[in-house]
Amino acid sequence: MFKKKILIGHSEDTVLAIIEHIEKSNIPFEIGFKDILKRSSKEYEAFYTVNVQKQYAKQVEAIVAQYVSQEDLKHLYKVEKKKSRKLERKEKALYLFAAFLYFIAVAAIEMGKSVGLDIVPSIGCAVLLMGGTFMTIKFYKAMKKESGDLRKINKKLMFFGIGIIIYAVSSFISVLRF
């Protein structure tokens, strides 16, 4: 029955005003979500759509245009979607990669210590030291470019890299003592 989806906004005040205007015009419609995007680690933002019949599409587009510009709204949606994807990638993938690298190197160091081989823990320490240095430099540069939650995530990952460096140095010192 409903054929056309029209993006009406993300601000609740604007969306409510548009919906009231459409209701006053006696146009049948359904409200839906285009997308729910992640703004920060704790906040989400919904982009609302109105589903209308094709015969009412022009009239609804005119009503929406009174409140928001479709071009600006579509541009804002694209920008927010890009930020949301970037935030989700930063939160998941990099922490998993860093943890994977860290635990493999730590396992190599501890196994080498228990067996009595000096070369395996030394290689593990070197890998940890290089990985920690790489992480610290990479996330420091990324932290300088970003703002808000992306900056906080990069700062945490940078400190994680510093922690890896400290662990690598202390493990290397303990390997040399044995």
- Greater confidence (3 vs 164) lies with 164
- Greater confidence (1 vs 33) lies with 33
Average pLDDT over residues 90-114: 76
pLDDT tens, 26-35? 888 888 777 7
Q: What is the mean pLDDT of the chain?
A: 80
Provide the 3-class DSSP secondary structure of residue 92. Answer: helix
In a domain, 29, yes or no: yes
In a domain, 154, yes or no: yes
For residues 58 and 25, state if they share a domain: yes
> Domain residues for 106?
85-177
For residues 90 and 165, state if they share a domain: yes
In a domain, 26, yes or no: yes
Give the Cα separation of 74 and 76 in Å (integer). Answer: 5
For residues 89 and 64, state if they share a domain: no
Residue 42: CATH number of its domain: 3.30.70
pLDDT of 56: 81
Whether pLDDT at 2 is above 60: no
pLDDT of 91: 67
For residues 58 and 98, state if they share a domain: no
For residues 63 and 121, state if they share a domain: no
| Count of domains for the chain | 2
Answer with the one of 43, 68, 93 that is the final residue of a domain: 68
Q: Is the Cβ–Cβ distance between 171 and 120 less than 8 Å?
A: no
pLDDT of 101: 76
For residues 25 and 104, state if they share a domain: no
Q: Please report, to the nearest 10 degrees, the dihedral formed by the alpha carbons of residues 126, 100, 141, 129 taken in order.
A: -10
Beta bridge partners of 45: 37
Q: How confident is residue 53, by pLDDT bands cut at 50, 70 and 90?
A: confident
Q: How confident is residue 42, by pLDDT bands cut at 50, 70 and 90?
A: low
Q: Distance between the two ends of the chain, CA-based, in angstroms?
A: 77
In a domain, 75, yes or no: no
Give the Cα separation of 5 and 18 in Å (integer). Answer: 14
